[in-house]
Structure 1
């Protein structure tokens, strides 16, 4: 891959951008977007791969207007790429480093106007980590927001060694990682997860002891109850019924039924660093939807596919541009 030294960084770049809120059809490819300026605590990344998340689609629809950056917006939270310039206060990265991360520290506020679906993006050093050596850029790009959400949710729910967990939406971007982290990082005694018929085998391969076909059975009617239920699909009322007395239910989407709680992830490079050994050893694996990766020119199709809610694992855009 060609390296770009800071002296050869262009002033303009190709990026996907939207100037009004709406579905995937509001996205336009623009080849004259300004390359973002790098602040003292930031690195400029030559983007190699990016991944889409449900939050990208909701943001584009205008769900977070009140806290969003002004339009026009280059979307994209997840990035993997190469550092081509470092701000004056950056300590941990240098030009040429291969990195990955979720570029928006707070999921729904102060979001960057210039995201990862572009040739370059500027990101605070503390949000990034060195890319695991054994992963491709496309695989690494699919991890940050989802693995940070999985990890933070497990931590907040008080999950620990020897506990049992039920994951709702086990084949999705977050769910595939909750299963693996619960099993291989937190030491779950038992992992159950829901999915559709064709995905049962995948869940078992990721470490689920029990894969539940939601098209055939209702998880809340099972006699077995769980220490923690991680709801990644927005079925909180049912999720609460599957938890043990005194157990916890954590949700990342939808309406919340007490005692469940909902949270929005905070991006931290330190979490990625902590999980890198599990990724490099192959204990935790990224799952990329088999329809992808989508090329940069297919970004609109990638968004349309994400919106079907049928993706397995992550929808990744690669290579960029």
Structure 2
């Protein structure tokens, strides 16, 4: 992208081979995940907190093959299959590219059980779910209310919590209730009367609430929680003021490795709605901005 703007600013172009700094590896990208932050960043939405350099290559989720090493990067070797959440300190060299240089701390070995597209759709959403659950120690014995449990982050949080032997009550539209049951959650419809619906399943309230929506769901969570300290939101800053936590996901190779282990054990999968070639990135952004997809949207570099 030559400057901040909307979907119309996206364009395929040739740039020099990335320089690979110490502690980095060069990754040949097989697939890149699409997230709302990609097009929000491109529109200038993070300009108050993040420096951008142009031309900017968007994309923070990748899966690919190590093609070369910088100095002091023994963690991976050429030919290793990796995936990562590659948010750097400034916005410039993202994952919508054939090759990208990535700090090794942002990568882990790709799950064998997942396709390239699934692996590319996991990092940001998976780490968001994992870090939200870890912030309040959600696990065995807890009754956890997950808002937007059928969404990209919520469906991963649900699987992580079920793998930890937590009881999950998940909000979703009725059309997604069978989907949540298949994940091991007890579904409830969001909207008016949500607190009453949850109390029908958990009369004494819930131990933990993970909010991936914001707004009214935060208020309902406070009403249902036994203690507000176990409220986590990734969508509403008010959670912290109400005694809970607001989480902004961090790159974390160890967290990615934990997610990969769950996937290879058959306890976590990624639902991919559609795979598009890189040249159709603008269409992927349009679909993502509409918010109607259940699974992840992924760009294939092999078809670009």
TM-score normalized with structure 2 length: 0.91
Q: Is 1:278 the equivalent of 2:278?
A: no
Q: Is 1:128 the equivalent of 2:103?
A: no
Q: Measure, in 2, the Cα distance between the counterparts of 1:111 and 1:250.
A: 26
Q: Measure, in 2, the Cα distance between the counterparts of 1:181 and 1:206.
A: 10
1:211 corresponds to which of 172, 187, 193? 187
1:228-259 alpha-carbon deviations (Å, 9 max, x no partner)? 11110113223322322355111111341412
Partner of 2:32: 50
Q: Measure, in 2, the Cα distance between the counterparts of 1:218 and 1:309.
A: 23
> Aligned to 2:209, what secondary structure does the other structure show?
strand
> Aligned to 1:293, what secondary structure does the other structure show?
strand
Q: Measure, in 1, the Cα distance between the counterparts of 2:60 and 2:81.
A: 17
Contact 2:98 2:301 in 1 (8 A): no
Q: Measure, in 2, the Cα distance between the counterparts of 1:310 and 1:120.
A: 30
Contact 1:84 1:96 in 2 (8 A): yes
Trace 1:276-315 onto structure 2 (pairs within 5 A): 276-289=260-273, 292-315=274-297
1:233 corresponds to which of 210, 213, 221? 213
Q: Measure, in 1, the Cα distance between the counterparts of 2:106 and 2:193.
A: 39
Partner of 1:100: 83
Contact 2:52 2:92 in 1 (8 A): yes
Partner of 1:187: 165
Q: Measure, in 2, the Cα distance between the counterparts of 1:177 and 1:137.
A: 17
Q: Which structure carries more helix by proportion?
A: 2
* Count of equivalent residues: 293
1:89-135 alpha-carbon deviations (Å, 9 max, x no partner)? 01111111111011115xxxx13411001111110011101111121
**Deviation (angstroms), 1:274:** 2.2
- Kindly report the root-mean-square deviation, in angstroms, between the aligned alpha carbons of the 2 structures: 1.6
Contact 1:81 1:137 in 2 (8 A): yes
Partner of 1:221: 196
Q: Measure, in 2, the Cα distance between the counterparts of 1:203 and 1:27.
A: 35
Partner of 1:173: 152
> Aligned to 2:182, what secondary structure does the other structure show?
helix
Partner of 1:3: none
**Deviation (angstroms), 1:69:** 2.4
Relative distance call for 1:241 and 1:74 in structure 2 (3 A) is same
Q: Measure, in 1, the Cα distance between the counterparts of 2:226 and 2:207.
A: 6
Partner of 2:131: 152
Contact 2:154 2:212 in 1 (8 A): yes
> Aligned to 2:152, what secondary structure does the other structure show?
coil
Unaligned 5+ segments in structure 2 are: none
